[in-house]
């Protein structure tokens, strides 16, 4: 919690910490980042520099209908590389799809992975990379640092503005037998290079832009209030909150505006850097259960859950939400912290309504009878450990019911 180490809040929404917390050792993981319009060709240069000759280009059916796969494959060929394109995955990548991708990697003698797509594509590529080096079943690697052997080089090009998978040390895969999502965490899963070309965002379907933008907002807010936050993650978290609040709706009103797309690309990138290092909280722990059970868009579930989790967490730590209110440019930023936190929750709800996502879990197909199982799963999720307020099963069940 931010007040625990006597953080001093400044009017601008940034903070300076006391000397004791300054003495902590901080670590910050991030890939090499290339950012800007027409930066795509840099991915081909990176692959060559990393020693790859035969890339497995992981993408999905949606991306195959855009110009980007052909453009990237052309850049790779112009650098003397022979890519094999594999697109056999679905949203919320499944354990058996990762296994199939790994077979394609081996059968084609690949030596480097390139992911062109959203979070599902990038997570699938990370899963394939783990299996390429370590063998076995992807579900064997659930948890922190379970894959020992170094993975092949990984170059990613995000086509959505939200998942953060292009910068994070996280890989989320659906366990189809248990109908839940497992989280694999490891420093080696941070890609070597992420190439963020905002042009790629202009071909996103509108619903995907809404869902992934809300995911980025959830990353920013959960990372900022996380027990794992620090001075190196806070400004990235707040910056992402400000950028999403100002730009998400505009990208949907003006889909071709590269200005707003670039702002959302930066939002997703900064949110990803924040949460990969600060970890997340209860919204993600709960969302992983709902998403695993019903195969729903991750960002939509997050958007529904987040205001409820904000209210729950603000009971013990309202001060942490004041800088969030500042980032969102809310007039309540000067009110009492509890009022600022309540205003943050309301602003999230308004944004969700503006971008057209349902206001409750029931509309997404969640039944009251599902709640005990969902709550039990959330308590086991790795993201729960950094939520600023501890919760028991009854409290998580109440949160799920509040969000129905
Ligand atoms: Fe997320």
At 213-260, the pLDDT tens digits run 999 999 999 999 999 999 999 999 999 999 999 999 999 999 989 999
Total residues found in the chain within this entry:
404
Ligand 1 centroid – CA 319 distance (Å): 24
- Taking the alpha carbons of 403, 243, 126, 99 in that order, is the dihedral positive or negative? positive
Ligand 1 centroid – CA 262 distance (Å): 20
What the block records as the tokens of 296 is 């729903």
Ligand 1 centroid – CA 292 distance (Å): 13
User: For the chain, which residues score pLDDT lower than 50?
Assistant: 1, 3-18
Neighbours of 49 (CB within 10 A): 15
Q: Does domain 32-202 have CATH number 3.70.10.10?
A: no
Residue ranges of the chain that CATH labels 1.20.1090.10: 205-402
Ligand 1 centroid – CA 91 distance (Å): 13
Q: How far apart are CA 115 and CA 112, in angstroms?
A: 10
Ligand 1 centroid – CA 46 distance (Å): 27
Ligand 1 centroid – CA 211 distance (Å): 10
| pLDDT recorded at residue 13 | 39
Ligand 1 centroid – CA 318 distance (Å): 23
- Taking the alpha carbons of 52, 56, 60, 64 in that order, is the dihedral positive or negative? positive
Ligand 1 centroid – CA 51 distance (Å): 31
Regarding the domain delimited by 205-402, which CATH topology (the fold level of the hierarchy) does it fall under? Dehydroquinate synthase-like, alpha domain (1.20.1090)
Instruction: Give whole-number Cα distances, 351 to 138, 290, 307, 335, in Å.
Output: 36, 21, 11, 21
Nearest to 126 by CA among 165, 88, 92: 165
Burial 1-38 (b: 16+ CB within 10 A, else e): bbeeeebebeeebebebeeebeeeeeeeebbeebeeee
What the block records as the tokens of 75 is 């850049």
| pLDDT recorded at residue 279 | 94
Ligand 1 centroid – CA 218 distance (Å): 7
Nearest to 211 by CA among 92, 309, 328, 298: 298
Residue ranges of the chain that CATH labels 3.40.50.1970: 32-202
Ligand 1 centroid – CA 54 distance (Å): 31
Strands 154-158 and 84-86: unpaired
| pLDDT recorded at residue 19 | 52
Cβ proximity of 72 and 150 under 8 Å: no
| pLDDT recorded at residue 30 | 96
Phi and psi angles of residue 9, each rounded to the nearest 5 degrees, phi first? -90, 135
């Amino acid at each position: 919690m931010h007040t625990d180490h006597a953080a001093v809040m400044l009017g601008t929404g940034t903070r300076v910490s006391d000397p004791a917390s300054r003495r902590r050792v901080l670590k910050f993981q991030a890939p090499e980042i290339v950012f800007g319009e027409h930066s795509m060709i840099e991915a081909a240069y990176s692959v060559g520099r990393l020693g790859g000759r035969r890339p497995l280009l992981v993408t999905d059916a949606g991306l195959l209908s855009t110009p980007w796969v052909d453009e990237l494959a052309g850049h790779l060929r112009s650098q003397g590389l022979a890519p094999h394109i594999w697109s056999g995955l679905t949203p919320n990548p499944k354990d058996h799809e990762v296994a199939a991708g790994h077979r394609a990697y081996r059968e084609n003698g690949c030596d480097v992975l390139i992911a062109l797509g959203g979070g599902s594509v990038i997570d699938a590529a990370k899963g394939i990379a783990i299996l390429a080096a370590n063998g076995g079943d992807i579900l064997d690697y659930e948890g922190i640092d379970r894959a020992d052997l170094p993975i092949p080089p990984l170059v990613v090009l995000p086509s959505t503005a939200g998942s953060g998978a292009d910068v994070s040390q996280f890989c989320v895969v659906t366990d189809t037998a248990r109908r839940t999502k497992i989280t694999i965490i490891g420093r080696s899963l941070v890609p070597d290079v992420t190439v963020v070309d905002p042009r790629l965002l202009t071909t996103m379907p509108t619903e995907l832009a809404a869902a992934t933008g809300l995911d980025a907002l959830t990353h920013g807010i959960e990372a900022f209030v996380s027990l794992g936050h620090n001075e190196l993650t806070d400004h990235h978290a707040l910056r992402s909150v400000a950028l999403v609040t100002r730009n998400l709706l505009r990208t949907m009103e003006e889909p071709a505006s590269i200005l707003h797309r670039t702002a959302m690309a930066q939002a997703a990138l900064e949110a990803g850097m924040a949460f990969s290092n600060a970890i997340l909280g209860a919204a993600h722990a709960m969302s992983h259960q709902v998403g695993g059970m019903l195969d729903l868009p991750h960002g939509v579930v997050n958007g529904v859950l987040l205001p409820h989790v904000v209210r729950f967490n603000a009971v013990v730590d309202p001060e942490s939400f004041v800088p969030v209110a500042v980032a969102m440019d809310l007039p309540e930023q000067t009110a009492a912290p509890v009022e600022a936190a309540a205003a943050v929750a309301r602003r999230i709800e308004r944004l969700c309504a503006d971008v057209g996502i349902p206001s409750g879990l029931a509309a997404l197909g969640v039944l009251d009878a599902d709640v005990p199982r969902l709550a039990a799963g959330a308590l086991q999720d790795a993201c729960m450990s950094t939520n600023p307020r501890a919760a028991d099963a009854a409290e998580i069940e109440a949160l799920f019911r509040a969000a129905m």
